[in-house]
Structure 1
């Protein structure tokens, strides 16, 4: 079976705050966009993998990581992995930037 991917316009680069989260909803998925200091944009699931969760757009961004605002788990924006000693992972989304447009591939 061939998987069909959809490219969805979600934001403008110029409107994204640097080192802060920006939440969007696509269907039933809440996604967090992050623009880091080098200008790269990441998209990850907007909830911490901790059982009690945490909204990641409310977390602190440092380099290419976001810290869960509830449990301070350090989560990689590039691969979604929670850093040791904690464990877990959030879903990541492919991002494409074209001119000032930010697209997510779903």
Structure 2
């Protein structure tokens, strides 16, 4: 994030922290936050679990994710064994 915004890491970190704090406060107050082209964060009241945060992706985000090769059913992990012989999953192609 810092590199793409041409900021040093400390400044980018402070900006991200301020943004996340603002979103959190809005949700705690029962509001919602919409990021155009990304999605909407909100809270819902549920009978069984109480108030829970929710996220609804915008169409452009859904389309971008669907067009990515990882959403085409290509394996993203493979099974292998660690040094103790336990079965584990590890990422592939990264």
TM-score after normalising by structure 2: 0.25
Q: Which has the higher helix share?
A: 2
Q: Which has the higher strand share?
A: 1
TM-score after normalising by structure 1: 0.24
Greater RCO, 1 or 2 (C-alpha within 8 Å, sep 6+): 1
